[in-house]
Amino acid sequence: MAHSIAPSLLAADFGNLNEAISEVNNSAASLLHLDVMDGQFVPNISFGIPVIESVARVCTKPLDIHLMIVEPDRYLSTYAMFKPEYITVHLEASTHLHRSIHKIKELGCKAGVAINPHTPIELLKDTIKDIDLVCVMSVNPGFGGQSFIDNTYTKVTNLKKLIAETNSNALIEIDGGVTIANAEILSRCGADILVAGSSVFRAPSISEAITALHG
Ligand code: DX5
Ligand code: ZN
């Protein structure tokens, strides 16, 4: 099954963002994945509104904003101003997930929900029909360059079944530790979008790495 690639800018050289983004623009990538970390929901701080504002000006690919922050509702309308394709909030950070999903849609974006490695897919059962994208974390969020957690294969297979059984249109995104060694099998398990940071931006050629991940 065909899958798309969303390079994660977190692994790019922040001193040379223009060049990194123009390589992504000229690649087969479908989205640019942007990791917002607040130092509270995850033990790391990445970048936020001013950086994304600049990225949005030069990036020609649709943006995929992954909010690893507490109280994400406070910032949804701000991130929606950059007209991303997706805004993703974490299930674990959302007290009123149903409300957050609908708020994202009202703001004109597609709604993503991310789940940490310890979070069972069953917790998505009552919202899956409203969700456009489930981001399955295949590492504990907070850092790039971590090793892929193998339980993700089973999780994706079961999530694919849940999506089919409920007639949901949600796509499955995998985030963390994606390489050419696991891309194909993830795709066979039912993944639609693979996020890849280190395996793209630490490669000798960004666009060739993106092509290779398509299999
Ligand atoms: C982790 C982030 C990921 C990260 C992936 O918290 O959500 O998007 O950038 O990086 P790699 O592909 O290096 O694991
Ligand atoms: Zn991410």
Count of the separate structural domains present in the chain: 1
Is 132 one of the annotated active-site residues of the chain?
Answer: no
Ligand 1 within 6 A of 114 CB? no
Q: Which contiguous run of DSSP H or E holds residue 155?
A: helix 152-165
> Distance from the CA of 71 to the center of ligand 1, in angstroms?
21
Quote the CA–CA distance of 35 and 65 in Å, as a whole number: 6
> Distance from the CA of 114 to the center of ligand 2, in angstroms?
9
pTM above 0.85, yes or no: yes
Domain span holding position 71:
4-214
Give me the CATH number covering residue 123.
3.20.20.70
Summarize pLDDT for 20-56 with one digit per residue, the tens.
Answer: 999 999 999 999 999 999 999 999 999 999 999 999 9
DSSP 8-state class, residue 148: P
- Output the pLDDT for position 1: 54
Ligand 1 within 6 A of 7 CB? no
Ligand 1 within 6 A of 183 CB? no
Task: Kindly state the average pLDDT of the residues 107-117.
Answer: 99
Contact 43, 142 (CB under 8 A): yes
Q: Cβ-count burial of 94 within 10 angstroms (0-12 exposed, 13-18 middle, 19+ buried)? A: buried
Tokens of 77: 């309308």
Is 73 one of the annotated active-site residues of the chain?
Answer: no
Quote the CA–CA distance of 108 and 8 in Å, as a whole number: 23
Task: Kindly state the average pLDDT of the residues 146-160.
Answer: 98
